[in-house]
């Protein structure tokens, strides 16, 4: 079995000074949520073994804060396809993962995350708020065998579940 952790970037700062959407940062609420989710994942004993992150500023900031808070040590790769990627793009990234990785994290954006999770589990509608994480288990031994349809959504958790 292989596990994909989908992690959406934190709440964006629409008031920040940025030239292009790709450069939009996260706001304070997004920073707090990223830290919360990093700690939560570690507390669950489900820290990622490898991370592939969108190249967008808000995704990279979210990952950095979560990684620091959760003390994750997984290697990180940055992938342009995760910025505006749809299900086929994300499936290609998943299939390219090294087979030694058991728990792969993708850090990125909507609507790609909810569309891809829905495709992986064979349908349905998934609502994916900012800084939420989802765990999807694939019944495969090799990442290259991943496909849409037979996966299981184990959990989907927004950061407000852990707010104090």
Report the pLDDT value the prediction gives residue 120, as an integer from 0 to 100.
96
Report the pLDDT value the prediction gives residue 14, as an integer from 0 to 100.
66
For residue 76, what are the β-bridge partners? 51
Task: Assign residue 96 the CATH number of its domain.
Answer: 3.40.50.1240
Does the residue 160 lie in any domain?
Answer: no
Does the residue 157 lie in any domain?
Answer: no
Convert 70-81 into a string of H (helix), E (strand) and C (coil).
HCCCCCEEECCH
Does the residue 159 lie in any domain?
Answer: no
Report the pLDDT value the prediction gives residue 21, as an integer from 0 to 100.
72
Read off the pTM: 0.95
Does the residue 134 lie in any domain?
Answer: yes
Does the residue 156 lie in any domain?
Answer: no
pLDDT-flagged residues of the chain (< 50): none
Does the residue 91 lie in any domain?
Answer: yes
Total tally of structural domains belonging to the chain: 1
Does the residue 164 lie in any domain?
Answer: no
Does the residue 83 lie in any domain?
Answer: yes
Which range marks the domain in which residue 123 is found? Answer: 2-147
Picking from 29, 21, 6, 17, the residue whose alpha carbon sits closest to that of residue 105 is 6
- SS3 percent helix, strand, coil of the chain, rounded to 5, is 40, 20, 40
Report the pLDDT value the prediction gives residue 19, as an integer from 0 to 100.
67
């Amino acid at each position: 079995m292989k596990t994909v952790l989908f992690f959406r970037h934190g709440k964006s700062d629409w008031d920040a000074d940025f030239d292009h959407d790709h450069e939009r940062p996260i706001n304070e609420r997004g920073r707090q949520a990223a830290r919360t989710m990093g700690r939560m994942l570690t507390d669950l004993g489900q820290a990622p073994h490898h991370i592939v992150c969108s190249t967008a500023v808000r995704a990279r900031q979210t990952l950095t804060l979560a990684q620091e808070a959760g003390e994750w040590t997984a290697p990180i790769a940055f992938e342009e396809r995760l910025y505006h990627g749809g299900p086929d793009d994300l499936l290609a990234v998943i299939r390219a993962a090294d087979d030694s990785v058991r728990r792969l994290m993708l850090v990125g954006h909507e609507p790609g995350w909810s569309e891809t999770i829905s495709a992986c589990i064979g349908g349905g509608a998934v609502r994916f708020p900012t800084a939420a994480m989802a765990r999807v288990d694939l019944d495969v031994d090799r990442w290259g065998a991943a496909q849409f349809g037979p996966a299981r959504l184990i959990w989907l958790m927004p950061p407000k579940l852990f707010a104090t």
